[in-house]
Amino acid sequence: MNQSDRLSCGKPLIGVMPLWDEKKDSIWMLPGYLDGLLEAGAIPFIFPFAFAERDLERLVNLCDGILLTGGHDVSPELYGESPLEGLIDACEKRDRMEKIVLKTALKSGKAILGICRGIQLINAVLGGTLYQDLPAQHPSEVVHHQEAPYDLPSHAAAVAADSPLYRCLECGRILVNSCHHQAVKTLAPGLTPMAMAPDGIIEALYMPSHPFLWAVQWHPEFSLRRDENSRKIFAAFVSAAAGRSE
């Protein structure tokens, strides 16, 4: 099925960034990412680990959209800092691959959705910085790294009234789950916040100049079953990848 056939039947092809398990030397995937895409009407597939730029460009060009998943810390080297000792669990080959994937997807106008690590990677690659560790660098009473179960909300977030996220969710305050210790610090040029935590941490952002680049700090793949807002975010992404308005 070529791209025009996929779009004519309403099923865009979404490339999903793989999760990596060092101990098992293997890629893996949380089902919520794929379930969210499938239920929104997409055809998801998991990227292999590949590092040749030409190969990655070909893979991205097969897709209608790219999902940047959670997982490892983003290496501070991407934004010109040294790692805080003992606090960073990065995966250099993920950073290297996803940097190429993101830049290719931006260049070709693909729909892009970042989740957790995804929002951090987008910001770092585009010239922003991160809090390497929130407890050490931005202590707060807001619970950003909750205990299980992860489908329950951890804190509130204020949604900007003039943002695409507000138009999608039709509300100015949402409850989100939270499982991260890194976060956006200095926002990259060209990105605009869409939601904020009570302590000032950016919870969602977008790129106004791109057809669809959204990123959220929380985990809609965990809260998919019980939270309509999570389903709406996947639906907006898949709709954009299919060439329909959000």
- Active site positions, annotated: 116, 219, 221
SS3 content of the chain, % helix, strand, coil (to 5): 30, 20, 45
Partners of 13 in beta bridges: 43
For strand 183-184 and strand 130-131, is the pairing parallel, antiparallel, or unpaired?
antiparallel
The contacts of residue 120 (CB under 8 Å, 6+ apart) are 73, 74, 130, 180, 182, 183, 184
Is residue 182 a contact partner of residue 73, using CB atoms and an 8 Å limit?
yes
CA separation (Å) from 76 to 45, 67, 106, 180?
A: 29, 22, 22, 15
Give the CA angle between residues 17, 51, 180 to the nearest 5°.
Answer: 35
Tell me the two tokens of residue 10.
Answer: 């309403």
Which is nearest to 234 in space by CA: 224, 222, 245? 224
Host H or E run for residue 167: helix 164-169
Which is nearest to 99 in space by CA: 131, 123, 129, 81? 123
